[in-house]
Amino acid sequence: MKINSLLIANRGEIAIRVIQTAKLMGIETWVLKTSKEPNALYLSAADHVIDFSDHTDEILEFLDIEKIIRAAKDHKIDAVHPGYGFLAESPVFAQRCEDEKLIFIGPSPDAILKMGNKTIAKQLARKHKIPLLEGSLGDVKDPTEAKIIASKIGYPVILKAASGGGGRGMRIVENEKEIEKMFKMASSEAAKAFNDPAVFVEKYVRNPRHIEFQIFGDKQGNIIHLGERECSVQRKHQKLIEESPSAALDTDLRERMGKAAINIAKTVDYYSAGTVEFLLDSDNNFYFMEMNTRIQVEHPVTEMVTGLDLIEWQIRVAQDEPLPLKQKDVKITGWAFEFRINAEDVQAGFSPSLGVIEKMSLPKSKNIRIDSGIQEGAIITPYFDSMIAKLIIYGETREKAIQYSASALKKLWIKGLKTTIPFCKEVLNNSNFKKGKYDTSFLVKEMKIHYFQDKDAELLAAYFATYDFARRLKEDEDKSVDFGKGKSITPWILNKRMKSL
Amino acid sequence: MKDTNGKAVKDIFIACGEGKRTFEVVNPLDENVKIKGRKMDIQIFEDPDGFSYLIYKNHKYQVDILEKSQNKYTIMINGVWYHFSIETPISYKRRKFLSKSSSSSKIEKISAPMPGKILDILIEENADVKQGEAIIILEAMKMQNEILAHISGKVKKVYIKQNDLVMKDDILIEIERS
């Protein structure tokens, strides 16, 4: 069925991203307005806004499944795109859409349910002989059971939330002494974040690379992959920089991993966009980790090197069209990076930096794409995550992409709060990163300092502080004497002021 | 700059940065400013978009005052921040004298590294803690963060309780060094 109207049940940059494609396809777009950000940019990007400002329930607006479905039905909207996040991974939401004859832009509720539960996903992978890490065959009841399994497979082990993702509810345990405390932390974090305290145990691979495959399926049963993304620049399992393709893969390994990714997707008759995550160890052994049944934050790097619009594909598949390409027609050209510009203070352990975006200056070029959900004057609140923009850079080769990235980051200026821009610059400055030799331990082991400092920056900062201080002193002096003197201005200041005109 | 008799005077300031790094700046408002004894040609300008820049050696640096109160400044240059206190030669001398005379306190305060919610307090008053031990679980942006004791000692005071919302730099607990 052709989709004529679409509700985007999300906010920020991903809402805007979906709206852009929907508009190109001639689809009417709807979004939800919340009291937390009544002036957000995504609201002005859409054709229609449904006002949820009066929402006072305990459940957050974007988590209230019934209210969202009711709104879509009331306005006779054909389809719902959940973006990424909670709704995209909720089998209940997908099922409820189906019940109400709303088209859900994403996979089947069954696929979300099975792949969303890591324990079931692993059992499926094991049955289909996809390489896996040793671990508990299912959820672990208590710390004692975790201890028994850990001593069998050997430390270090990792505890993970069965319904988790994004690094939450995850704990690495180095030895038996720590396991009880870590188990409790992982379990309580999982209960809080995902409403499910279930945790499982797994062998922990030290310093692996994080490689994920973008796969795509249609309702006719075709499944292909669109190459890989490397997401090894992470801090506490939160991705910060992604690239596609990965410098670690050759054609043979890419083919084997791609095939494994497709096979995983086949176990649940997958359709729509999905991501299969693998760990790759230093001997090029790969292990299936999990499958994300949604569009990912980092999907633009795949779009840059394939020249495809993944949101368009999602919409076409949802209206029962077959995939427009076969595996052999998928061509990866060039190299792309994505830098997550977060409102975080890298000089204070990446702590959230709240405040107002006073000014923004974005670089422009045909190699640069910026996906952002904010504009000048936007307030960064603690209600939502800290990402303010994604800087995506394309180059013909990895070296060129790095070179373009460095110059784009130099021209990206944000005034008013602290961001991860100096961090991104420092990564690009690292010789091993430049060579493509890095893994998930990069941040902790390879980076001595997490932000890039210009050679004379501290000295110039000292000068500027002193300049402002001296100017204030001078103004105070001028005010305290007679008015005649107050009018006169030193030629030096006059000179400086004239230059600034 | 000249005094009332038309004689040139020097305006001297000392910017005290972190890690005892100091920058002596002579005549900051003048064209020929001297920093650490070196004459430097730095230009300040503002573009119509509201950004301020320094131009030095043909490089452009985005500069912004993040915070200022009295003589304390936080300056951001190209996204990296620096703290300074600006002293005159006299106040600098006094500052040095004061820092020598005050003995280091036995009480260490642990403050919140980021705004968030106190999920769990793993210690209580009068408990002995070891350096590196987790004492508080702070949730920020949906992540749980362990706050560790940075010294060994006895917990003197706990200022917070479970589920409290704290701001960055709020004092959470006090530990008496052992």
Q: What are phi and psi of A80, to 5 degrees?
A: -125, 130
**ipTM entry:** 0.79
Option in A236, A385, A466 nearest B15 (CB): A466
- Would you state the pLDDT for residue A486? 45
- Domain extent at residue B146: 107-177
Which residue would you say has higher pLDDT here, A242 or B5?
A242
Residues B79 and B140 in one domain: no
Residues in A touching B76 (Cβ below 8 Å): 418, 461
8 A C-beta contact, residue A294 and residue A84: yes
A294 given a catalytic annotation: yes
User: For residue B10, what pLDDT is reported?
Assistant: 81
Closest residue, chain A, to B63 (C-alpha): A461
Q: Same domain, yes or no, for B90 and B22?
A: yes
Per-residue confidence (pLDDT) for residue A485, from 0 to 100: 46
Q: What is the dihedral of CA A476, A478, A480, A483, to 10 degrees?
A: -150
Instruction: State mean pLDDT over B83-108.
Output: 80
Choose among A185, A458, A467: nearest Cβ to B144: A185
**pLDDT computed for residue A379 by the predictor:** 87
Q: Kindly determine whether residue A349 and residue B114, on different chains, have CB atoms separated by under 8 Å.
A: yes
Residue B2 pLDDT class (50, 70, 90 cuts) = low
Q: Does A405 touch chain B (CB under 8 A)?
A: no
Find tokens 């995209």 and name the residue. A88
Q: Are B156 and B176 in contact (CB under 8 A)?
A: yes
Q: How confident is the model at residue B149 (pLDDT cuts 50, 70, 90)?
A: confident
Instruction: Tell if the CB–CB gap between B61 and A460 is shorter than 8 Å.
Output: yes
Does residue B151 surpass a pLDDT of 90? Answer: no
Nearest to B76 by CA among A417, A375, A348: A417
Assess if residue B1 is contained within a domain.
no
Distance CA A324, CA A354 (A): 43
- Residue ranges with strand state E in B21-170: 22-26, 33-35, 38-40, 42-46, 52-56, 59-69, 72-77, 80-87, 107-111, 116-121, 128-129, 134-140, 143-148, 153-158, 165-166
Dist CA A241 CA A341 (whole Å): 9
Of B30, B73, B114, the CB nearest to A465: B73
By C-alpha distance, the chain B residue nearest A381 is B141
Q: Which chain A residues are within 8 Å of B114, Cβ to Cβ?
A: 348-349, 351-352
Check residue A498 and give its pLDDT.
64
All residues at 6 or more sequence positions from A488 whose CB lies less than 8 Å from its CB, including other chains: none
Report which residue type is found at A34. T
Note whether A466 contacts B: Cβ–Cβ < 8 A.
Answer: yes
User: DSSP per residue over B115-148, as a string?
Assistant: SEEEEEE---TT-EE-TT-EEEEEEETTEEEEEE
Catalytic residue among A235, A254, A294, A316: A294
B80 closest CB neighbour out of A422, A459, A496: A422
| Chain B residues inside the 8 Å CB shell of A451 | 79-80
Q: Is A463 on the interface with B (CB under 8 A)?
A: yes
For chain B, give the mean pLDDT. Answer: 86
One digit per residue, the tens of pLDDT, for chain A of length 501 reads: 899 999 999 999 999 999 999 999 999 999 999 988 899 999 999 999 999 988 877 778 888 999 999 999 999 999 999 999 889 999 999 999 999 999 999 999 999 999 999 889 989 999 999 999 888 877 898 999 999 999 988 899 999 888 876 667 788 999 999 999 999 988 888 888 788 888 989 889 888 999 999 999 999 999 999 999 999 999 988 999 999 999 999 999 999 999 999 999 999 999 999 999 999 998 899 999 999 999 999 999 999 999 999 999 999 999 999 999 999 999 999 999 999 999 999 998 888 888 899 999 999 999 999 999 988 888 888 778 889 999 999 999 999 999 999 999 999 999 989 999 999 999 999 999 999 999 999 998 999 899 999 999 999 999 999 999 999 998 887 776 554 444 555 666 666 666 665
Whole-model pTM: value is 0.81
Q: Choose between A88 and B99: higher pLDDT.
A: A88
Which of B56, B72, B101 is the C-terminal boundary of a domain? B101
Same domain, residue pair B165 and B96 = no
Measured between CA atoms, how close is B107 to chain A, in angstroms? 23
Q: For residues A333 and A330, give the distance between their C-alpha atoms in angstroms, rounded to a whole number.
A: 10
Q: What is the average pLDDT across B165-178?
A: 88
In a domain, B4, yes or no: no
Which residue is closest to B136 within chain A, CA to CA?
A185
Q: How many domains does chain B have?
A: 2
Looking at the fold, whether B122 and B88 belong to one and the same domain comes out as no
Residue range A5-105 in CATH 3.40.50.20: yes
Query: Is domain A341-429 in CATH 3.30.470.20, yes or no?
Result: yes
Partners of B23 on chain A (C-beta within 8 Å) are 458-459, 462-463, 466
Distance (Å) from the alpha carbon of B59 to chain A's nearest alpha carbon: 10
The full set of domain ranges for chain A reads: 5-105, 134-203, 341-429, 457-499
Is the Cβ of A148 closer than 8 Å to some Cβ of chain B?
A: no
**What does the alpha-carbon distance between residue A347 and residue A420 come to, in Å, rounded to a whole number?**
10
Tell me the CATH number of domain A134-203, given options 3.40.50.300, 3.40.50.720, 3.30.1490.20, 3.90.1310.10: 3.30.1490.20
